[in-house]
Structures are given as structure tokens and as C-alpha cells.
């Protein structure tokens, strides 16, 4: 379980006549993510979604509040659980080395954790299994990123994120750059992988249609604050006025993803 309580994060800015100032990105963020569930963090651009992602991954420090993972302080958990929290980013092209083969890309996290001869043999078995799970031929392992479509390359990024057998997977706008038809395929794949590997997802997005298909719960982030949390099966029971307007301004419709949805994208 991930428990976040009253998380705060700000950045120093310059250029004011009184010297440096602070830009408050996260001012009061609290949520709980239980094992095996998917929590969607929904917010418009600049709401602090990606900052939250980087903090959870241990890439940035936070100023205040607490984060507990499996009952352990965040920093301690990250140090003791290398590879147990992974991420899939939005831009699949820039998140891979264009000069590497697909096999090199997928095996990168494994090589960082273990470089022994026995480990490399085990790596090959893991990679072969994941290629099957993401429904791409093993022959693709010898290709380079430019030879793959966007959807295929994002499947590779998902496989790379799963090589270390993580407990938690952060999906940071992971389907936003894909065509709608490809988004549907990737969301279906993510659902299958979650069930097979007992994964816990944090899905950061601005597309309500996608998050309501994949997630169990939603947390709406605005101005650095979680303003409301909702069960995805009761998304129209929102109490916050902004969230009410967000989900109530459009009619629900049968999703291209084949499940519950709300036709709304934040800008």
C-alpha cells in the first residue's frame, strides 16, 4: 500500500525585485493506493501530476508531508526495494536509446541490478516471457526503435518496466501520445498484465475516458491539491463543484475501450 499524507513540494524561482520566490506545485496531496488496485490521478496541465510521479520514484525530494510504502518510510523503501517501483512515460521515443536494439532496451533495468553470467541467462528467459506477454514476436528484439510503430514501442517500454518484477507501476500519461485505437489495445494489455502479475497501478492522466476504464478510484488534482476522490463506478456522485462540472458537462457513452467512460479530456 502507498499512503501519501499532506504532501508538499515547491520550487525556487528568480527574477522578482525582492529576490527569489517559491512556486508551490503540490500544497496538500493525500491519497491511499491499496495493493492490486489502480488509482487514477486526474488533472489539467500544470496541476502537479508529473511532479508527484517523480517524487514517488525517488527522483525528487518533497518539502513536507509523509509517504509510506508498505508501512515503511518512502526513502527507506526505495533504497531497500530497487526495481520494485517502475514507470512508463508518455514519450516512448525519447525514453529509449535510439541506437540500442530492442533487446538492449528491455534488458537495461535488469543489467543495472545484476551483471553476473548467471543473471544474464535468467534475463534472457525473462525477456522472452515478456515479449510473449506484450504480444510481439521475439524477432523484434534485434530491431531498433525507428523500425517499430508507436504502439509497438510503448509495448516495449511496458515490458522494460516489468523486467524487475515491480509491485508498483506508475503510468505517467502512458497512452496520451497514441492514437485512440492503439490506446484501446494498450489499456487492454495493461489490464491483463495487472491481473497476471498482481500489479498495483498509479495512472497519471488527463483523459477521463482512459482512467475510468482502467482504474478503481480517481483522485482529482487541481492547483496542487487533491480536491476529491471517487470510485470509478460512481463517478457522477462528485461533491466538489469543479469535479461535478468536469464529469457532468458531457453525456456518458459506450467507450471505444469497451467499458465505463466519460468523454472528457482536460486541457
Q: pLDDT per residue over 190-240, tens digit each?
A: 999 999 999 999 999 887 878 888 899 999 998 889 999 999 888 888 888
Q: Where are the domains of the chain?
A: 1-81+167-267, 95-166
pLDDT of residue 252: 47
Q: Looking at per-residue confidence, does 138 or 259 come out higher?
A: 138
pLDDT of residue 39: 96
Question: What is the DSSP pairing of strand 168-172 with strand 85-88?
Answer: parallel
CA dist 37 and 199 (Å) reads 8
Contact 3, 29 (CB under 8 A): no
pLDDT of residue 55: 94
Class in CATH terms, 1-81+167-267 = alpha beta
Lowest mean pLDDT among 9-13, 105-109, 126-130: 9-13
Q: pLDDT per residue over 45-102, tens digit each?
A: 777 788 999 999 999 999 999 999 999 999 999 999 999 999 999 888 888 999 999 9
Q: How many CA atoms lie within 13 A of 112 on its CB side?
A: 12
Q: Considering the entire predicted model, what is its pTM? A: 0.86
C-alpha cell, 167: 509491485
**263, pLDDT greater than 70:** no
pLDDT of residue 267: 39
Give phi and psi for 211, each to the nearest 5.
-70, -35
- Of 220, 218, 219, whose CA–CA distance to 261 is shortest? 218
- Of 177, 266, 158, 202, whose CA–CA distance to 41 is shortest? 202
How far apart, in Å, are the Cα atoms of 174 and each of 46, 77, 151, 237?
A: 17, 24, 11, 27
How far apart, in Å, are the Cα atoms of 222 and each of 66, 177, 214?
A: 20, 22, 21
Secondary structure (3-state) at 16: strand
C-alpha cell, 253: 457513452
Q: What SS3 string covers 93-112?
A: CCCCCCCCCHHHHHHHHHHH
- Across 9-26, average pLDDT: 75
pLDDT of residue 13: 76
Q: pLDDT per residue over 137-166, tens digit each?
A: 999 999 999 999 999 999 999 999 999 999
C-alpha cell, 117: 553470467
What length is written for the chain?
A: 267
Question: What is the DSSP pairing of strand 225-231 with strand 217-222?
Answer: antiparallel
Q: In what order do the strands lie in the sheet with 38-42?
A: 72-73, 64-69, 2-16, 19-33, 225-231, 217-222, 38-42, 200-205, 168-172, 85-88
Q: Looking at per-residue confidence, does 201 or 264 come out higher?
A: 201
**265, pLDDT greater than 60:** no
pLDDT of residue 251: 42
- 229 - beta bridge partners? 219
pLDDT of residue 156: 96
Amino acid at each position: 500500500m502507498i499512503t501519501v499524507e499532506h504532501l508538499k513540494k515547491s520550487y525556487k524561482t528568480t527574477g522578482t525585485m525582492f529576490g527569489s520566490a517559491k512556486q508551490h506545485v503540490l500544497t496538500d496531496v493525500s491519497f491511499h493506493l491499496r495493493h492490486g488496485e489502480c488509482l487514477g490521478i486526474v488533472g489539467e496541465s500544470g496541476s502537479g501530476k508529473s511532479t508527484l510521479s517523480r517524487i514517488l520514484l525517488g527522483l525528487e525530494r518533497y518539502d513536507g508531508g509523509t509517504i509510506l510504502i508498505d508501512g515503511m518510510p518512502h526513502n527507506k523503501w526505495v533504497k531497500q526495494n530497487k526495481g520494485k517501483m517502475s514507470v512508463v512515460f508518455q514519450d516512448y521515443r525519447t525514453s529509449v536509446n535510439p541506437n540500442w536494439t530492442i533487446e538492449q532496451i528491455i534488458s537495461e533495468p535488469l543489467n543495472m541490478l545484476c551483471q553476473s553470467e548467471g543473471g544474464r541467462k535468467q534475463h534472457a528467459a525473462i525477456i522472452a516471457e515478456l515479449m510473449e506477454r506484450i504480444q510481439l514476436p521475439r524477432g523484434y528484439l534485434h530491431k531498433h526503435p525507428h523500425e517499430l510503430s508507436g504502439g509497438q514501442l510503448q509495448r516495449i517500454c511496458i515490458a522494460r518496466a516489468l523486467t524487475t518484477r515491480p509491485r508498483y507501476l506508475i503510468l505517467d500519461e502512458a497512452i496520451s501520445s497514441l492514437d485512440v485505437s492503439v490506446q484501446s489495445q494498450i489499456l487492454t494489455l495493461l489490464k491483463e498484465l495487472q491481473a497476471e502479475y498482481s500489479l498495483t497501478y498509479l495512472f497519471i492522466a488527463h483523459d477521463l475516458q482512459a482512467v475510468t476504464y482502467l482504474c478503481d478510484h480517481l483522485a482529482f488534482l487541481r492547483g496542487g491539491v487533491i480536491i476529491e476522490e471517487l470510485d470509478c463506478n460512481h463517478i457522477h456522485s462528485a461533491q466538489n463543484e469543479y469535479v461535478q462540472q468536469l464529469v457532468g458537462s458531457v453525456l456518458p457513452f459506450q467507450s471505444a475501450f469497451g467499458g465505463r467512460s466519460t468523454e472528457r479530456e482536460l486541457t
